Structure 1
Amino acid sequence: MLRDTMAAVFHADGQRGPAAATLGIHRNTLRDRLTRIERLTERSLADADDRAELWFALRLEEIAGDS
């Protein structure tokens, strides 16, 4: 669930409204999930380096899954 949330946010270029709509959840639910992701990963989505690291981790997982 959290992986899908991050992917939706990245695919929506960080726009939370469209990401929430894609996931079929309320914006507040999305906000809560993103807060949980930040807490679990000890990364901040407000920090560009942290966002890049999370995006790269998702891409590596996608690439590894394609093999």
Structure 2
Amino acid sequence: MLVVFSVLAALCCRNIVANAWLLKHAFIIQFANPEDRDYYAFKDPAHRAVVEELGPLLEKVQNVNLPRSG
């Protein structure tokens, strides 16, 4: 199982002192393989609609691929 840590709707705030982003919201999504992940990220109509709707409202979006554990 390919695990993707995806901050798809991350509402972030800026930490000026540490010069780092602090995440307020995150989603962890698991995919069976990279092809399924790529379909979801780039072609899935429902996901694309969410990106179109929420994208302008978000300060930062961060996607991170995590290796499988075990």
TM over 0.5: no
| TM, length-normalised to structure 1 | 0.29
Larger radius of gyration: 2
More helix by share: 1
Higher relative contact order (CA 8 A, sep 6+): 2
More strand by share: 2
